[in-house]
A and B are shown apart, each in its own frame.
Chain A
Amino acid sequence: EDQVTQSPEALRLQEGESSSLNCSYTVSGLRGLFWYRQDPGKGPEFLFTLYSAGEEKEKERLKATLTKKESFLHITAPKPEDSATYLCAVPRFSSGTYKYIFGTGTRLKVLA
């Protein structure tokens, strides 16, 4: 069965303390992996799309990487404003159309 698993579930960092979030997937024939950031009570904000193993994307303090089994979201020198839930998603073909499978998310808290 296709699955997307994120770890850790929650992460507390001091400001400036770099770390990585993990997104593992078991989807045959991967057709992309997406990262989102979600603030409480708001819709997810698109961050990155990765399509092939070895691909990397960067935006400010965030860097996303992809292997054949997992993706990492590296956060370098985080600031309190980076506190949010980070979600990854992959597309799966089911019932005649593609749907996104979301991981359960990593809740990140960056302390000043």
Chain B
Amino acid sequence: DTEVTQTPKHLVMGMTNKKSLKCEQHMGHRAMYWYKQKAKKPPELMFVYSYEKLSINESVPSRFSPECPNSSLLNLHLHALQPEDSALYLCASSQEGAWTEAFFGQGTRLTVV
């Protein structure tokens, strides 16, 4: 089983809302990732949890906040987003670090109005 499950599949939120994206994997992977993808662009790394230690892409605004409750779960908390944050948000996991292949979820299509 190489499944990474993301919820919700679609999300529309206002700029003053607070929402969370959720991701789950049961493959025993020790690294989990959040990516942002705009149309016709490759995925752009936002956050990495490797053995439950967070590594941050310093260009990510503080309105995005990751959380890793345990090695199987990953959340992305959203607050005071801007319309330009509208994108496909992808969760991925890999058995070890990025020297092993990553498996992606189907993504959450986020629209900020």
Q: Could you tell me how many residues of chain B have their Cβ less than 8 Å away from some Cβ of chain A?
A: 28
Q: Is B104 an interface residue (CB 8 A)?
A: yes
Q: Would A87 and B98 be within 8 Å (CB), given that A41-B88, A42-B106, A95-B55 are in contact? A: no
Bound form: Cα–Cα A31–B6 in Å: 28
- Chain A residue at minimal CB-CB distance from B97: A98
Residues of A within 8 Å of B6, CB to CB, are 43
Q: Which of B78-101 contact A (CB under 8 A)?
A: 88, 90, 92, 97-101
Contact A31 B104 (CB under 8 A): no
Q: How far is the CB of B95 from chain A (nearest CB, A)?
A: 11
Q: Is B25 an interface residue (CB 8 A)?
A: no
- Chain B residue at minimal CB-CB distance from A4: B42
Q: Is B14 an interface residue (CB 8 A)?
A: no
